[in-house]
Amino acid sequence: MDFSHYDEKDLLRLQSSITEELLKRNVVRTKNNPLGDYTEWLVANALGLELQSNSKAGYDGVDADGTKFQIKGRRVTSGNKSRQLGAIRNYDVKDFDFLVAVIFDEDFDVIEAVQMPHQVIKEYATYRKHVNAHILILKGPILSDPRVKHIAGVIQDSCI
């Protein structure tokens, strides 16, 4: 689509309208950047999870057995290839059983998706005192750890 004839305010209004429509369709749950909400929605649909309320700290979804999942998404672009996931807070409280992380390309296509047990994270994440959280970058040795399950196919199959 060519948006070059729109001025900046029109583009922002269009983005707002798209967000409103995604809210109506229950794809996103907030009016923030849609990546986090979209990732949670996509993973919940693919894995059969019940999403928790936005105010629920520590995990995003629960399966039928009561297993708790923290869900993180990251979109890599030509201008930012970082695979650093959002901050994992209160790691030692063990609020979740598994972390599911999804890496998208610039067009929101899934290029990597993994599910890992809680205990794996500490081995690869770095604690950063200034943000009071563990930071995990989804690249390198963690991707070949046998405890990390690659689920990109499962996630892609549930994409609309």
Domains in the chain: boundaries: 33-157
What pLDDT shows up at residue 14?
A: 92
**Mean pLDDT value across the chain:** 93
Q: Is the dihedral of CA 106, 112, 113, 119 positive or negative?
A: negative
pLDDT tens, position by position, 133-147: 999 999 999 999 999
Residue 160 has pLDDT above 70, yes or no: no
Tell me: pLDDT of 114 over 80.
yes
Tens digit of each residue's pLDDT (9 = 90 or more) over 35-66: 999 999 999 999 999 999 876 789 999 999 99
CB 121 within 8 A of CB 92: no
- CATH code of domain 33-157: 3.40.210
Q: Quick one: average pLDDT of 105-110? A: 90
Task: Show the tokens assigned to 47.
Answer: 């894995």
The predicted pLDDT at position 120 comes to: 97
Averaged pLDDT for residues 59-79 = 95
